[in-house]
Structure 1
Amino acid sequence: MKIALAGDHAGFRLKEEIKKQLEQMGYETIDFGPFSEESCDLPDFVYPAALAVSKNEVDRGIFIDGVGYGSALIANKIYGVYAAIAQDPFVASLARSHSNTNVLCLGGKVIGSAIANEIVKTWMNTNYLSNDKKYVNRVNKIIDINNKHLKK
């Protein structure tokens, strides 16, 4: 499985830690940047990473900025990208199991690396409840909204 990583200067250190974690878990990572803590603009990195998710060039994405919201705002404007912000493993689990998200957004200024590692592990290892009609119906409604308002 290929995972796109992206963020900004505020998420750089945590992105580097998560990259190592993912690779130790056996995942291939594609790092869209940034590649230092030098001040930068979030869209320059999250936008191309989100496009890679949309085009199925990668399987999922993990985007890390200061608080996570900027990454989610950008990512959710791209067709076929379903991003959620998680501050703890419980939220990460529900984002995958109930909503079938394909992008996880984290805040490098909000959470430390220990909790971030648990969030990533939980999100990566949680399956979508595709056999539960309630969640399938809900996700299908989200996909319908995506298809109605976003361009491929």
Structure 2
Amino acid sequence: MIAIGSDHGGYALKQEVIKYLETKGLPYKDYGCYDTSSCDYPDYAKAVCEAVVNETCEKGILICGTGIGISMAANKVQGIRCALCHDCFSAKATREHNDANVLALGGRIVGGELALMIVDLFLHTPFSDEDRHKRRIEKIEL
């Protein structure tokens, strides 16, 4: 299951990502927000990241206006490796090299079609499992 959340700045893009998940038959849980009313991104980052850390969900997707604030909030949660991606190469590389478990997107930065390509790569690219990457991840987790 995929945990997904956004603030008001990422709400519209979140709706597009949810449609994509539904089309692909991928189960998800929406942790909010549920409209475009002004709200605080750290609340949604925390909810999504706790679901990933508690293994309620396998991976998470977070969206705010730029993706910056929500990714910063996400990375405060122990056990989360959130990557802000605005291109396909980064989405693929962060899964292969960093075993990122949460993707952050900027709803005011990335268009819908590109965002869906990024989401697809993030969700379907496996971790390389190479020793050098494992070693580096262990150093991040300290």
Q: TM-score, normalised by structure 2?
A: 0.96
Instruction: Give how far 1:38 is off.
Output: 1.2
Structure-to-structure mapping, 1:45-56, within 5 angstroms:
45-56=44-55
The reply on whether 1:106 has 2:88 as its aligned counterpart is no
Instruction: Give how far 1:23 is off.
Output: 2.1
Runs of 4+ in 1 over 3 A off after TM superposition: none
Q: Residue 4 of structure 2 aligns with which residue?
A: 5
Instruction: Give how far 1:26 is off.
Output: 2.2
The reply on whether 1:63 has 2:99 as its aligned counterpart is no
CA distance in 2, matches of 1:79, 1:68: 19
Per-residue CA deviations over 1:61-107 (Å, capped at 9, x if unaligned) read 00000011111111111111110000011000011000000000000
CA distance in 1, matches of 2:62, 2:17: 10
Question: What are structure 2's unaligned runs of at least 5 residues?
Answer: none
Aligned-pair RMSD on alpha carbons? 0.9
**Which AA in structure 2 matches 1:136?**
K
SS state at 1:98 partner:
helix
Instruction: Give how far 1:58 is off.
Output: 0.7
**Which AA in structure 1 matches 2:106?**
G
CA distance in 1, matches of 2:63, 2:112: 12
Aligned length: 142
CA distance in 1, matches of 2:26, 2:34: 20
Q: Percent identity?
A: 36
Q: TM-score, normalised by structure 1?
A: 0.90
Q: Residue 135 of structure 1 aligns with which residue?
A: 133
SS state at 2:93 partner:
helix
